[in-house]
Structure 1
Amino acid sequence: MVLLGADCVEITRVRVDGGETVLWVQTPDAQRVLCGACGVRARSKGRREVRLRDAPGRDGGVCEVRWRKRIWWCPNAGCETRTWTEECELAAPRRVLTCRAEQWAAARLEAVEGSVASTARRLGVAWATVWSAVAAWACQVVGDPGRVGPVARLGLDETVMRSASRLARRRYVSAAVDAATGQVIDIFDGRNAADLHRWLEQQPAGWLAAIEVVCCDPHEGYRSGITRARRDTHLSDSVKIAADAFGIVRLANQALDGARRRVHNETTGHRGRKRDPLYHARKLLLTGAERLDAAGWDKMLAALDAADPTDEIRECWVAKEHVRDIFRADDPLDAQQHLNEAIAWCEHPSAPPELATLARTLRRWHTEIATAVRTRTSNARTEAANARINHVKRSARGFRNLRNYRLRILLAAGRQPCQTQPVTPIRTRRPSLVA
């Protein structure tokens, strides 16, 4: 019978002390043990009690294991190995946690069900004790050669590892994600061209050769890094760069929101308030035209008629819809036409100043936007992986060590996503009083 996750021990005594179960275990008496260095039959020097912490049981209580560990010594005077303690799959040498407790802690952090500190409190050990065990487990997961397979579409996205303070600047890290599956491939420091180029130089040549499309936000650092990598690394010259649709539409929404704030301040002299028409309709302005019902259209048009005397907000709203039409088109030629219309609309001499910035971005990223429409590549799964990364950061209340941050992220999102079993709907019982 397997006890405590190990079939090499037997329980000799059990005691419940203050709601905590204490188990005394030991290995059966060995018939013959040889010295690993000289091969002489070893002799026993008795047993020494070692205290271990086991994983919580079904009732949630933590179990303490007291392992009566046997000590051996070699009678050969010329042998360099004098004494040693027995080893068992119950726990690794010089560890406080059993192997089952280490796997439980790693699984808990992998599922982002708590932090290292909360796991340590649950087991009744120190933070470093849990993290040393989890880090060893995570290094095995990250170092698995079969963890990352060929990637045809690579997604890049940045996230804030540490917010700015009085003594330190804001620190960014970038996530390389398989845009087809959402698997986090790796985390590297920074978001500049040099940071991306340095990371690509460290990747295997065969893995880089399989990449066909790189999808990223309209950030010049990523585009410059890919351009340099085509020349200096094994990244193929035929690799295309695709601009993420969400990032482009977000710039159009920011232009609309900026124009709304500016016009409101110029007409009223104060920031938006609850009863102001433009402030009250701020979310309707950012909603897609096809998602507005009749009441929404009436409310938005009434706000524009009442508080947009120069029609600048209306022009930004039309520009936003032109940008959305680019990625809604099924035919690349239609998307190209919508892109040209959006640029022409934003570059009109009477256009608001917010659209001038949007026009420059659309013209500068013209090729990348066309590639995104033609290849149907987006950072949707990359953004989902980024949300899980932020979930890991929130669960730990922030990180200061990039190595620990990387291991926690790759442990939680660095494996291939599993196909979950579809949920079977449960029919509720019909009340007996219903006629």
Structure 2
Amino acid sequence: MSVIADTIVRTVELGVTITDAALDGDTTVVFCDLVDRGPQRCPGCGGVGVYRDTVERRATDIPVAGHPLLLRVRVRRYRCVSSTCERVVFSADSSRLARAGATTTRRCARFVLRRLVLDRTTIAAVARELGRSWDTVNAIAVAAIGDLLAASGPARLDGVRVIGVDEHRWAHTRHAEGDGFVTVIVDLTPVVDGVGPARLLDLVAGRSAAAMTDWLTAQTPQFRRQVEVVAMDGFGGYETAATSAVPDAVTVMDPFHVVALAGAKLDACRQRVQQDTTGHRGRTGDPLYRSRRTLRTRLQLLTTRQRARLEAVFADYAHTPVEVTWMIYQQIITAYAHPNPGEGKTLLANVIDTIRAAVPAGLNKLTTLGRTLQRRRRDVLAYFTHRASNGPTEAINGRLEALRRNALGFRNLINYRIRSLLHCGALAL
């Protein structure tokens, strides 16, 4: 029966064998003995010890049949007979069972990581499964991720040539570290090379040039030399950080944010014309308001009905500013969608030149867009050469949002960083 029980619970890998079992409420209690490994030698002098007594060590193990499992292991203690040794009493080696002083087995940490990473389970749920407190399970996760990061070491950053940077709000409470924001740093190299998904490299408190600069300067010179491309949104602080800390890298403004910026200017222009022509904000029956979503739709995706609606809107001379801004918006989308990167780059460069030099009076939003694109011209056009998009960074940002909602929020940035690396850091479990 002992062999069957050892096989079912797989206690052999812990270096113990089952001798008895009992129930304690919802917890299954299993009594074990350490597997006999021959004469026990003193860790101080190496001499063979003499049996002294037996003590019991308790350790929480992975659940069995949906119930918490507690191992009560009999551990022999020995007396060192050497008169020159400082050790008087030592215990039999139970390192396979658990770490020194730990109250959970070694495989319990692997179980916690798998539940958190693969099953997207909360700390509270894992704590209920193990029959332990939230703090205990969280401490196990913190120690485990520390071991994973230490095991990977600097090699974790080897081969990182393309990184993505974005801001992320991790807390909505007052006085949160970094004002509740962090800078998300992502490895985009696998995506650019077409060999795998992006992975989270780190989270840094704050959303400023200083936060990004501090992280880059904290890395090794070798890492900074190997970074070739930094993809980002329109925030100028990240561009400043990249050009100062990794001056040889190319900064790329993400296409999504360029199109989103142009779309925001289109919305602002529509709202201004709506106010000027009707004297009120958009209402259900107003032509401009009814077309607000159609105006943001890519030209090639418009239905016949939507095209007819836009034609009716643009037939009104008072709506000409909206039509002009809409045409620029569509031209930007067309440039990014062009199958030939060289042709697309030329098209977008022409758009930037046009709205910088030939914008009619009264199109203030379009003028502002032109100034922004001209200021970031090099970053905007660099996409067509390096094809580095910040889309995977936004995807990881979304996964972090889901993690935060699943955990019902975080109050400690250290815990949030650790959980984020577990979920999105592609660490080898």
TM-score, normalised with respect to structure 2 = 0.85
Answer yes or no: is 1:378 the counterpart of 2:379. Answer: no
Q: 1:387 matched to which residue of 2?
A: 398
Moved more, 370-379 or 392-401: 392-401
Aligned partner (choices 278, 294, 300) of residue 290 of structure 1: 300
The alpha-carbon deviation at position 239 of structure 1 amounts to 2.0
- Asked whether the 8 Å contact 2:291–2:310 carries over to 1, the reply is yes
Answer yes or no: is 1:367 the counterpart of 2:373. Answer: no
Answer yes or no: is 1:107 the counterpart of 2:123. Answer: no
Mark the CA change 1:13 to 1:265 in structure 2 (over 3 Å): closer, same or farther.
farther
Structure 1 counterpart of 2:49, one-letter code: A
The 3-state SS of whatever aligns with 2:382 is helix
Answer yes or no: is 1:33 the counterpart of 2:40. Answer: yes
State how far apart, in whole Å, the 1-side matches of 2:74 and 2:355 are.
Answer: 80
Q: 2:194 matched to which residue of 1?
A: none
Mark the CA change 1:259 to 1:206 in structure 2 (over 3 Å): closer, same or farther.
same
Aligned partner (choices 63, 77, 82) of residue 88 of structure 2: 82
The alpha-carbon deviation at position 362 of structure 1 amounts to 0.6
Aligned partner (choices 177, 183, 189) of residue 180 of structure 1: 189
The alpha-carbon deviation at position 248 of structure 1 amounts to 0.7
Aligned partner (choices 161, 169, 175) of residue 160 of structure 1: 169
- Asked whether the 8 Å contact 1:323–1:339 carries over to 2, the reply is no
State how far apart, in whole Å, the 2-side matches of 1:351 and 1:13 are.
Answer: 86
State how far apart, in whole Å, the 2-side matches of 1:97 and 1:416 are.
Answer: 22
- Asked whether the 8 Å contact 1:189–1:195 carries over to 2, the reply is yes
More helix by share: 2
The alpha-carbon deviation at position 285 of structure 1 amounts to 1.9
- Asked whether the 8 Å contact 1:252–1:320 carries over to 2, the reply is yes
Mark the CA change 1:147 to 1:167 in structure 2 (over 3 Å): closer, same or farther.
closer
Which residues of structure 1 form unaligned runs of 5+? 230-234, 419-435
Moved more, 163-172 or 105-114: 163-172
- Asked whether the 8 Å contact 1:54–1:98 carries over to 2, the reply is yes
State how far apart, in whole Å, the 1-side matches of 2:71 and 2:315 are.
Answer: 75
Q: 2:209 matched to which residue of 1?
A: 193
Mark the CA change 1:126 to 1:304 in structure 2 (over 3 Å): closer, same or farther.
farther
The alpha-carbon deviation at position 394 of structure 1 amounts to 2.4
Describe the superposition over 1:44-90 as per-residue Cα deviations: whole angstroms up to 9, x where unpaired: 34333333222223x42322222223333334455322334332312
Describe the superposition over 1:369-406 as per-residue Cα deviations: whole angstroms up to 9, x where unpaired: 11111222211222222222223222222233332222
Answer yes or no: is 1:13 the counterpart of 2:20. Answer: yes
Moved more, 175-184 or 157-166: 157-166
Q: 2:223 matched to which residue of 1?
A: 207
- Asked whether the 8 Å contact 1:163–1:169 carries over to 2, the reply is no
The alpha-carbon deviation at position 33 of structure 1 amounts to 1.1
Answer yes or no: is 1:70 the counterpart of 2:76. Answer: yes
Answer yes or no: is 1:56 the counterpart of 2:63. Answer: yes
State how far apart, in whole Å, the 2-side matches of 1:171 and 1:126 are.
Answer: 27
What does residue range 393-404 of structure 1 map to in structure 2 within 5 Å?
393-404=404-415
State how far apart, in whole Å, the 1-side matches of 2:103 and 2:289 are.
Answer: 59
State how far apart, in whole Å, the 2-side matches of 1:74 and 1:304 are.
Answer: 96
State how far apart, in whole Å, the 2-side matches of 1:224 and 1:156 are.
Answer: 12
Describe the superposition over 1:183-241 as per-residue Cα deviations: whole angstroms up to 9, x where unpaired: 22222222322222221111122222222221111211111112212xxxxx4x54211
State how far apart, in whole Å, the 1-side matches of 2:366 and 2:173 are.
Answer: 30
Q: 1:148 matched to which residue of 2?
A: 157
State how far apart, in whole Å, the 1-side matches of 2:175 and 2:420 are.
Answer: 27
Mark the CA change 1:227 to 1:286 in structure 2 (over 3 Å): closer, same or farther.
same
Mark the CA change 1:40 to 1:241 in structure 2 (over 3 Å): closer, same or farther.
same
Mark the CA change 1:253 to 1:165 in structure 2 (over 3 Å): closer, same or farther.
farther
Moved more, 325-334 or 274-283: 274-283
Which residues of structure 2 form unaligned runs of 5+? 1-5, 191-197
- Asked whether the 8 Å contact 2:348–2:381 carries over to 1, the reply is no
Q: 1:413 matched to which residue of 2?
A: 424
Structure 2 counterpart of 1:21, one-letter code: T
The alpha-carbon deviation at position 328 of structure 1 amounts to 2.0
State how far apart, in whole Å, the 1-side matches of 2:119 and 2:237 are.
Answer: 31
Q: 1:227 matched to which residue of 2?
A: 243
The alpha-carbon deviation at position 10 of structure 1 amounts to 0.5
Aligned partner (choices 325, 333, 336) of residue 324 of structure 1: 333
State how far apart, in whole Å, the 2-side matches of 1:344 and 1:42 are.
Answer: 88
Between the two proteins, the alignment pairs up a number of residues equal to: 410
The alpha-carbon deviation at position 11 of structure 1 amounts to 0.5
- Asked whether the 8 Å contact 2:345–2:384 carries over to 1, the reply is yes
